[in-house]
Structure 1
Amino acid sequence: MAKTMEEYFNDAFQEDIFNRKMAAVNLMKIINENNSSLTIALNSEWGTGKTTFIKKWINALNEQKEEYISIYLNAWESDHFNNPILAIMYAMEDFLVKVNNIHSNDITTAVIEVAKGLVNLATKGVVNIDKIKASLDKKDIKELYNEMKTISEIKKDLEKQLLNIKGNKKVIFFVDELDRAKPNFVVDLIEVLKHFFEVEGYYFILATDRSQLNSIVKKRYGEDISSNGYLRKMIDLDYNLKKPSLDKYFDSKFSYIEREYVKLKNIIDNLKKLTIINNYSLRYVDKLEIYISIIAPRLNKNLSRENHTKYLLDVVFSILIFIRAKDTVDYNNLINSKDKVYEVLLKYKMIDFEIEFSENGSPLDFNETIIKIFSIICDKSSLKTNLEKKIIINNISQGYYNFFRDGKLKYIDELEFLNGFDV
């Protein structure tokens, strides 16, 4: 028995921690009920999993090649082309041949013909209002009529080429990362793609942060333009993708590290709290996971037994790697600039970071303790000398002394190891 569409999506969305499968299924129902064309803006903030959602959707479509052709264009990765026509050509040929297994000798030729049509439309440009007025004033509209007729013929030829490419299938054209690409490229790309938008059987999914896209349009055409009005001319439907659970995503990314490196549990718990407090993106969690996976074996080997010193070390290291993964300038200020310690900790909402710890049974104030530790870290030369002489720095307690003696700033050394990676 043949699979239903929903069954194909069940397979593609097996690891659906954000419960987004039904969003893709329902959007496909809208597409299947529409026999002309449709452009849907998939709206969600940067770093909230739009790309993952789209790729799962494409995987489901690729199992239904008898009915659908999927094309994927990453605007951010393609903005080096400068000319969006080249980006469209590349995406179309790549997916038609490699992904959709359309091994026709005519594909490359057809794509080139589409590109020619787009170039002709681009060079003709939008009909010039001043030219219309001038022609009407002169009562000589023959030239203008011929030019408009030429544009109409080019559009018909372009539509013919696009219909030949798709055959009897529906083409789902995904345009991703519009909120990350160069602003001028984004607008130029949309202006070119609009010639596809009304071609029967072509359906566009534009993945973007709508607020960012509005800003890009205003930057191009000026603050006076209604960006919503401009985009409404081309976008038929806006769909707001359900906001993901940062809590669940973090757990899914770090569960294997917690299983393999038990001694890192406190650090991972602290990183999770900090990530949620600061409401960072899923992309940031990905970066954090890469950092921890690189240094986890080294840390797990060097971490000491459970005691006050280790607990304090875990808290300090959590703060270090959390800020290191976000901003190297802030990280360097934290470990090198005594006068900027409080400013950096405040920026990353450490004052909201509720951790209770004590020394010899007496509770320690978190903010005061952490600020004092990082202030001491900044004075590395004095720290080294005093440790060698076993002098209690700045008359702080024995517990602090043990922290620096046992830690020997090894966590900072471990983080320096990350400098060799382009993450």
Structure 2
Amino acid sequence: MDKFVEENEVFEKYSIIKREQYADFLTNFLNQQAENGYVLNLNAEWGAGKTTFLKCWYNKLKANHPVVYFDAWKTDFTHDAMTALMDSFHAQLANPISGNKALIRDFYEKGMHFIKVAVPSLAVGYLKHKSGMPYDESLLQDITDTFGINVTEDSCSDALKETLKAALEQRKKVEGINEFKTALEKIAGEYIKVTHKNFPIYIFIDELDRCRPNYAIEVIENVKHFFNTKNFVFVIATDTKQLQHSIKAIYGYKFDSNLYLSRFFDNKITLPRPNISEYILNYKSIFKKKKDIKLNNNELANIYSTIFEFHGVNSLRDIEKILNTLELYNNCSDIEFKTLPLLTLLVLKTFHPEHYEEFKNKNLNPYSKNSEFISKIMANKINTYTSMNNIEIVTQSFLYYCLQELDSNLIGKPQTEIQPHDNAMKNEIKEFLKLIHNQTINSYNNKALLIDYINLTDLSFITDQDKYGFENI
């Protein structure tokens, strides 16, 4: 049974994200480009859904095409990326043809040229088995045959022997690139023959963002040698900005990481960002409302989305953790909590913890006009939310009142105070706030106090990155 990717990872499971059509487009495009090999860089920010997309695409492709999924992060504890890659190729391509011992042996023999000295036992054991000679004798014979120099002579210094060994190793690696690509093509051809699937072979390389910088670079620099293998499509998923930082960490701050990466890829695409409001609507259980509420779920989801955007939270993975926590808290208490203040506090605690601590310990409303938090977060943005009657409410003021209604004694003033003479706008904003506060995670007669919101927020464990749902999104 295929265990490299969970079988339940399918596009239907994430229909709200609407990416199946995009995967179909890529498949049609790449199938036409693969004759001489093709390399696609799939770019998206961390948490934007690269892994979920690749796994769903994998499960859709595998019915008609051979697919190899390589999770770089799961192997970055090793010291040799090439060994990990070869193991993935063997496990996912060679297993169906395991009866062809000669072909599999040829694959490992050709790949041996790439493996680091950290695993010399493989090379030593193979050479001894092949030639019947001890390793040193076999290697010295190869040097004599290749360079025409008898290194067994007493006149041949140890330094020269080491130089010739290094030169022979380098030559074998260069020659081994084409030999390894040929071995890959043979395995692919045999796999197609046995499984009756179709070319091209798809190779998905994922989770480079999460790897140690040197390992991420090593993976790319190893696979570059056989990128242009006939009928092979490589899809390298990256957070390109993050990967560029990794490259600079290895090669220096002034190194042109953008140019460096462009040499590896035939094309680069950015995974379309899903509509956050539509994604939020998928969490139906958090949209509990009292009977008299007039805002519909779409309007509420837009408010949720505005809160995430205002705080700089754009990752699906991060949003999912917050929403899962709200779902977890649903009906977990015998007092009534208003959803939006709780959401706001969870976001504040998770992504701006120092300002949450000021709110908790100093009674300071973080959305006050002159707060340090607002000065920092509003430096390059202006956010508004349009109410149902087309009156614009500044997001900062909305959030200020959202918390201030929990306790009027919170310190600070809003960005836009309501003028006494403007009763129409004052009443409109009051009505708007009343409506949104009628949305709760549970319904009881006992109303939660500010201390209850703080206690519940402090109980949250959403900092555990892989706790919920899209574990590898």
Counterpart of 2:203 in structure 1 is: 173
What is the count of residue pairs matched by the alignment?
Answer: 345
Counterpart of 2:180 in structure 1 is: 158
Aligned residue type for 1:79 = D
Q: Which runs of 5+ in 1 are unaligned?
A: 1-10, 124-140, 304-309, 357-364, 379-404
Distance 1:117 1:31, change over 3 A: farther
Aligned: 1:257 with 2:286: yes
Counterpart of 2:351 in structure 1 is: 326
Task: Answer yes or no: is the 8 Å Cα contact 1:177–1:207 preserved in 2.
Answer: yes
The separation in 2 between residues aligned to 1:37 and 1:344, in whole angstroms, is: 51
Residue 148 of structure 1, CA deviation: 5.4
Aligned residue type for 1:72 = Y
The separation in 2 between residues aligned to 1:329 and 1:75, in whole angstroms, is: 34
Counterpart of 2:372 in structure 1 is: 343
Counterpart of 1:307 in structure 2 is: none
Q: Which runs of 5+ in 2 are unaligned?
A: 1-9, 120-162, 193-198, 388-396, 412-445, 468-473
Aligned: 1:271 with 2:271: no
What SS is found at the alignment partner of 1:407?
coil
Task: Answer yes or no: is the 8 Å Cα contact 2:46–2:315 preserved in 1.
Answer: yes
Alignment of 1:15-414 (within 5 A): 15-33=14-32, 34-64=34-64, 68-96=65-93, 102=96, 104=98, 106=101, 112-113=108-109, 115-119=111-115, 149-167=171-189, 168=192, 169-252=199-282, 254-258=283-287, 261-262=288-289, 270-279=303-312, 280-299=314-333, 301-303=334-336, 313-338=338-363, 341=366, 342-344=371-373, 352=383, 367=400, 370=403, 406-408=447-449, 409-414=451-456
Residue 352 of structure 1, CA deviation: 4.8
What SS is found at the alignment partner of 2:205?
strand
Counterpart of 1:401 in structure 2 is: none
Task: Answer yes or no: is the 8 Å Cα contact 2:36–2:229 preserved in 1.
Answer: yes
What SS is found at the alignment partner of 1:81?
coil
The separation in 2 between residues aligned to 1:338 and 1:14, in whole angstroms, is: 43
Aligned residue type for 1:418 = S
TM-score by length of 2: 0.61
Aligned residue type for 1:47 = G
Aligned: 1:415 with 2:457: yes
Counterpart of 2:127 in structure 1 is: none
Residue 226 of structure 1, CA deviation: 2.4
Aligned residue type for 2:448 = G
Task: Answer yes or no: is the 8 Å Cα contact 1:42–1:205 preserved in 2.
Answer: yes
Residue 182 of structure 1, CA deviation: 1.9
Task: Answer yes or no: is the 8 Å Cα contact 1:69–1:172 preserved in 2.
Answer: yes
The separation in 1 between residues aligned to 2:82 and 2:164, in whole angstroms, is: 31
Residue 286 of structure 1, CA deviation: 1.1
Residue 176 of structure 1, CA deviation: 1.5
Aligned residue type for 2:113 = G
Distance 1:78 1:346, change over 3 A: farther
The structure in which a higher percent of residues are helix is 1
TM-score by length of 1: 0.67
The separation in 1 between residues aligned to 2:244 and 2:228, in whole angstroms, is: 22
The separation in 2 between residues aligned to 1:172 and 1:234, in whole angstroms, is: 17
The separation in 2 between residues aligned to 1:108 and 1:334, in whole angstroms, is: 63
The separation in 2 between residues aligned to 1:230 and 1:180, in whole angstroms, is: 20
Residue 329 of structure 1, CA deviation: 4.4
Backbone CA RMSD of aligned residues: 4.0
